Amino acid sequence: MQTEATVARNLYREVTDKILAELRKGAAPWIKPWSGYAGPANPRNLVTGRPYSGANVVLLWITQQERGYERPVYLTYKQAEEIGANVRKGETGTTVCFVNSFAKKEEGADEERRIPFLKAYTVFNVAQCENVPEKFTGTPKVRNADERIADVEAFIQSTGAIIGHGEGQAYYRPTTDTIMMPHFEAFRSAHHYYSTHLHELGHWTGAEKRLNRQLKNRFGDQAYAAEELIAELTSAFLCAEFGFDSELRHAGYIESWIKVLQKDERAFFTAASQASKAAEFMRSLALAEPERMAA
């Protein structure tokens, strides 16, 4: 069974149309009630444990919601065979994408340049498989969403961001490079507090001295809407990783995101990629924190 193929069809358009269909329903497809599952809710590969990134995260979340899968865990047909499992007969997989490239040398040019293109392959949810070894089926304990979450608190602290509390709203102020938050008790749930906090940290990563996220050239007058989409996705990716619910900060942005995606079929891929980079940047700070403490 062929599970990988370089496709001639317009994958950018297909994925963007899928996201647009969800947004036109009035809901962001990356906002889901993750806390019902007792483990990290960011989609990951069952065999390697590696999380999916970028647009694939949202595509797999949509599939999980549509088909009612309990666990966001996927593998290829070949991987199922390699661990002694099998995909049930008649099951339909989900297409995910990754960026590949090929070298091209223009006539008269001294050097080759890399031309990017999307490559697609098929994955299956673990619920579509049989005979999965027991070592792949365990899940951790469920969190108590009504209390502060120690590992998220430590993660936020490890960024080194300057954070103040007591404001009536949450925001990141670029001029002072500070994040302001209402008090923890002002939020309706711990999940709401942390998803908002991670959203603002998403903005914080884009500063010039960090990821230097310059969106004007890419998105023009829609750069603000694109930045909000990146921060939303950053929060959603990290909320899923920690296993708690994400929240849509501003439903009013949905219309602006529809406009961005209608105009540019690659915009969602760019935003999702930037959100993955923002989340990874924060993870790198968290990993470096023990070294700083020991120094």
Select the more confidently predicted residue: 173 or 136: 173
Q: Looking at the predicted structure, is the pLDDT value of residue 292 above 60?
A: no
Backbone conformation region of residue 99, classed left if phi is above 0, alpha if psi is from -120 to 50, else beta: beta
Q: What is the pLDDT of residue 111?
A: 75
Could you give the number of structural domains in the chain? 1
Q: Looking at the predicted structure, is the pLDDT value of residue 7 above 50?
A: no
Question: pLDDT tier at 271 (50, 70, 90 boundaries)?
Answer: very high
Q: Looking at the predicted structure, is the pLDDT value of residue 186 above 70?
A: yes
pLDDT (tens digit per residue) in 80-90: 999 999 999 99
Question: pLDDT tier at 2 (50, 70, 90 boundaries)?
Answer: very low
pLDDT (tens digit per residue) in 86-133: 999 999 999 998 876 667 767 766 777 777 677 889 999 999 999 999
Question: pLDDT tier at 6 (50, 70, 90 boundaries)?
Answer: very low
Q: What is the pLDDT of residue 64?
A: 86
One-character DSSP codes across the chain: ---EE---S-HHHHHHHHHHHHHHTT--TT---GGGSSS--S-EETTT-PBP-THHHHHHHHHHHHHT-SS-EEE-HHHHHHTT-EEPTT---EEEEEEEEEEE--TT-SS-EEEEEEEEEEEEEGGGEES--GGGS---PPP-TTS--HHHHHHHHHT--EEEE--SS-EEETTTTEEEE--GGGSSSHHHHHHHHHHHHHHHHTSTTTT----HHHHGGGHHHHHHHHHHHHHHHHHHHHTS----S-TTHHHHHHHHHHH-TTHHHHHHHHHHHHHHHHHHHHHHHHHHHH-
Question: pLDDT tier at 253 (50, 70, 90 boundaries)?
Answer: confident
Question: Which structural domain, as residue segments, surrounds residue 268?
Answer: 4-294
Contact 258, 29 (CB under 8 A): no
Look at strands 178-181 and 129-130 and give their pairing: unpaired
The distance of Cα 176 from the centroid of its chain, to the nearest Å, equals 28
Select the more confidently predicted residue: 252 or 286: 286
Select the more confidently predicted residue: 290 or 260: 260
Contact 198, 238 (CB under 8 A): yes
Q: Looking at the predicted structure, is the pLDDT value of residue 145 above 60?
A: no
d(CA 46, CA 51): 9
pTM assigned to the model: 0.74
Contact 145, 44 (CB under 8 A): no
In the beta sheet, which residues pair with residue 122?
95
Question: pLDDT tier at 293 (50, 70, 90 boundaries)?
Answer: very low
Amino acid at 30: W
Cβ count near 155 (within 10 Å): 22
Q: Looking at the predicted structure, is the pLDDT value of residue 140 above 80?
A: no
Question: pLDDT tier at 290 (50, 70, 90 boundaries)?
Answer: low
Q: What is the pLDDT of residue 245?
A: 74
Q: Looking at the predicted structure, is the pLDDT value of residue 196 above 60?
A: yes
Q: Name the least confident of 23-27, 86-90, 253-257.
A: 23-27
Q: Looking at the predicted structure, is the pLDDT value of residue 36 above 70?
A: no
CA atoms within 13 A on the CB side of 266: 8
Question: pLDDT tier at 62 (50, 70, 90 boundaries)?
Answer: confident
Average pLDDT for 21-31:
79
Q: Looking at the predicted structure, is the pLDDT value of residue 191 above 90?
A: no
d(CA 148, CA 247): 17
Q: Looking at the predicted structure, is the pLDDT value of residue 39 above 70?
A: no
State what percent of residues in the chain have pLDDT above 90: 47
Question: pLDDT tier at 139 (50, 70, 90 boundaries)?
Answer: low
